Amino acid sequence: MPVRNPDAPPSNAAYRVVAGVLLAAVGCLAAAFLLARPATLSSLLVAGDPPDEPTPVAKVTTVGGLRLFSTWPADQAPDLAFVLTGQTYGYVSPCGCTSPQKGGLERRANLIESLRVKGWPVVGLDLGDIAPEKGVHKQNLLKYRTTMKALAEMGYVAVGLGEYDFTTQLFELLTSYTLNNPGKPPLVLSANLQGVERAPDGKVTKAYGLGEFFPGGDAKDRPMVEAFEVVAKPARPPFAVVSVVGPSVAAKVAGVDKQFDFPRDVEGNVTVAATIRDALAKIDRHPARPQFRVLLYVGQLAEAKAVAAAFPQFQLVLCQSDDSEPPTYPTPANDGRTQIVQVGHKGQSVGVVGLFKSATGFELKYQLVPLKEEYLTPAGEEAAKKNAALQLLEEYTKAVKDENLLAIFTAKQIQHATQVRHPEERATYTGSAACAKCHAAEYAKWSTTPHSHAYEALEKAVRPGLRQFDGECLVCHTTGMEYQSGFKDAVKTPQLKNNGCENCHGPGSAHSAKPNDKALLMSLSPWKSKPSDRLPDPETMEEIGKVREVDRGPLTAKLTASQRKVADNVFGMCRKCHDGENDPKFDLYTYMPKVYHSNLKATGLPPGAK
């Protein structure tokens, strides 16, 4: 698979979008799993603004000031190269609405292929939590299946099980991939997982082993969940991988699904020691006699340290990360003989561990690799077809469309705050064109912003396409999708395509009918505490936006308390979609002047209305 040189500058597809302040409705979910790409949105700039230059990428990719793999032997390939991931949470691709962003299956596949091009024997291992934390159940299953297929293509050997894999319903996950691919990698491992029967009071009355509770496709097949795996290939050092769920996660799993539990001591505390001892004893008896051992520890770092100290047989431990951004280096244990690795969340970075055989055993080298835009697939249809992960993403978005998963998103729309506070008005969403009848100047301003083309951006999206049918994308690219009478689909509610006025102001029909109603007027500005509250003027905001955030203190101190509060409230609304992940460069004081529409010339307003 051809890949872009990681040390080369990005292609034109990486242009950043100046998105402005997204007029997100109160309570609108951040679209953490959107799939749009910068190339799709780069033409939808604020009118009159020139395109930003592509985000600069260093000619030599560095982490912590060092070039990737610069501390590894320059003239020697590792005997094995472990690619370590985990806590992906269904993040199959970054949203791409802005730049830079990190992660995604496509980029991971390109990284792995670039290592294989070097002649490195790559093995993938994943800690677990492949399934999303929340979302539409059918779409979560589709994401899991897509991810597992992609991991198989990338050469993953095994995956563990995390909390959200159980939240999504483990048996359905296993049926979606493992049952239909019996004995084929990536194998699902969880050595201390038990199936249980419980008494009415919740006490476990009977526990089942993995073979009993997770039988494979037929009697000859391996269980769908196993305790460990041994990998032995010619001319490569054999290794074993074990996975266990630690107490911190086990307590959550037992609370999520009562048919599962874990071995406990006499005091009822989850314990992993006996399970690990049993797995190691079986590994020692394996014909391949692996001397290198990896532990996938689904739990916190403090727990992983204790387990590593108790079982120094493991030279490599992968555990959960509390922070979304991982540490640059592993945590050493056992006087440096064991490395404990954390790789962060959502697959935005991966850890690569090089295994080098030595006269005294094994030497390990570590490299954290952020999956930035240099790992995007090069332009051209041929390159796209050769990236199996990218093709799986195309299949994923097609399935989202064909199965009409958007209908599930919009089937249980909730009430907007205006609908709750003024039930007698039966407020509904009308669309921005209806607002233009009285607010022509404001509508004209909105029409110059990318918000007025938000739906079009999804229609034009490529690699993969069909994002205009995905509720996870549409929630930030349409109007009122979460709320009653809000966007349903392009056929039923065409007037609510794009990110319109009512995403900030709420459903507007009641205000249209009673433009002088003061209570309704206040409900249209939920960032205000009183009618006189205002944002700073656009010139002031622009002045602040030109100064680095760390140096803004003297300027923001000049704002009134009311202005600062309104700015904070508006920022919180915008952050529902322009979060740190989907729009890492978002800054209210830089972007708000581009969409500012307060105190414009009143046109067409009824007498007394504001």
Question: Which tens digit of pLDDT belongs to each residue from 515-557?
Answer: 999 999 999 999 999 999 999 999 999 999 999 999 999 999 9
Please choose, from the candidates 513, 538, 556, 555, the residue with its C-alpha nearest in 3D space to the C-alpha of residue 599.
538
pLDDT for 219 equals 52
pLDDT for 609 equals 56
How far apart are alpha carbons 299 and 327 in whole angstroms? 16
What is the 8-class DSSP label of residue 373?
Answer: G
Place of tokens 């290592």: 115
3-state helix, strand, coil in the chain (%, to 5): 35, 15, 50
How many residues in total does the chain contain? Answer: 610
How far apart are alpha carbons 351 and 106 in whole angstroms? 16
pLDDT for 13 equals 33
Q: Which of 32-41, 79-88, 280-289, 327-336 has the lowest mean pLDDT?
A: 32-41
How far apart are alpha carbons 116 and 344 in whole angstroms? 24
pLDDT for 579 equals 86
How far apart are alpha carbons 275 and 295 in whole angstroms? 12
Q: What residue ranges in 323-479 does DSSP mark as E strands?
A: 331-333, 338-341, 349-358, 361-370
pLDDT for 606 equals 59
| Region 15-40 average pLDDT | 34
Please choose, from the candidates 403, 347, 342, 346, the residue with its C-alpha nearest in 3D space to the C-alpha of residue 133.
346
| 3-class DSSP state of 242 | strand
Tokens of 259: 């048919």
| 3-class DSSP state of 145 | helix
| Region 343-361 average pLDDT | 94
Q: What confidence tier does 42 reach under pLDDT thresholds 50, 70, 90?
A: very low
Q: Which amino acid is at 375?
A: Y
Distance from chain centroid for Cα 246: 23
Place of tokens 């094994």: 362
How far apart are alpha carbons 159 and 206 in whole angstroms? 27
Please choose, from the candidates 125, 210, 130, 126, the residue with its C-alpha nearest in 3D space to the C-alpha of residue 164.
130
What is the 8-class DSSP label of residue 496?
Answer: G
How far apart are alpha carbons 249 and 192 in whole angstroms? 12
| Residues 6 or more apart whose Cβ sits within 8 Å of residue 66 | none
Domain ranges of the chain: 1-25+36-63+414-610, 84-319+329-366
Q: For residue 175, is pLDDT > 50?
A: yes
| Region 26-45 average pLDDT | 35
| Region 186-207 average pLDDT | 94
How far apart are alpha carbons 125 and 27 in whole angstroms? 37
Q: Which of 3-12, 16-25, 180-189, 574-583 has the lowest mean pLDDT?
A: 16-25
Homologous superfamily, domain 84-319+329-366:
Metallo-dependent phosphatases (3.60.21.10)
Question: What torsion do the CA atoms of 599, 605, 607, 609 make, to the nearest 10 degrees?
Answer: -50
- The mean predicted confidence, pLDDT, of the chain is 88
Q: What confidence tier does 289 reach under pLDDT thresholds 50, 70, 90?
A: very high
pTM beyond 0.75: the answer is yes
Tokens of 69: 């793999």
80-to-116, 123, 232 alpha-carbon distances in Å:
11, 7, 11
